Amino acid sequence: MFTIGDFAKHGRVSVRMLRHYDAIGLLRPARVDPATGYRHYEAGQLARLNRVIALKELGFTLDQVGSILDERLGAEELRGMLRLRRAELESAMAAAAARLNQVETRLLTIESEGSMSTVDIVVKSLPPVRLVELTGVAAGYEPQDIGPVI
């Protein structure tokens, strides 16, 4: 049996993290001393702790980690979760690559012109808007000849 501090050292996590995992039911101690409330873990629980850490590093939430470890998910569901996570990571990588490209462009501009441009053009997507057009012929070219638009 390991004390919570020793188990945390072996698992390379904090004591606080082990307490949190206990609180949410992800990794319960093998024994809790009724008199002191001290938590004790068995060596075999290190495997579960390592799986928790590995799944967290893949980006799964703790709820998802719990579902995976408690075998409430079938192989197809797990495959689907991993594919979704892969798509999320690919999207994040594409966004990061676009930002890196913008940084590189700015650097090239500074190197070629000696300073950064004072004019920035930002392309934004806007929702569709209905427009109306009214045409007519003005009586003359003077301001009083041009009436109100509507």
The per-residue pLDDT for range 50-73, each reduced to its tens digit, is 999 999 998 889 998 998 888 777
- The model's pTM is 0.60
Output the DSSP codes for 87-131.
HHHHHHHHHHHHHHHHHHHHHHHHHHHSS--S-------------
Q: Does 36 score more than 90 pLDDT?
A: yes
Residue 90 has pLDDT above 60, yes or no: yes
Nearest one of 29, 21, 30, 31 to 56, comparing CA atoms: 21
- Which CATH class, in words, describes the domain spanning 1-73? mainly alpha
Query: Across the chain, what does the average pLDDT equal?
Result: 88
Query: Looking at the predicted structure, is the pLDDT value of residue 147 above 70?
Result: no
Domain ranges in the chain are 1-73, 76-120
Nearest to 66 by CA among 13, 27, 14: 27
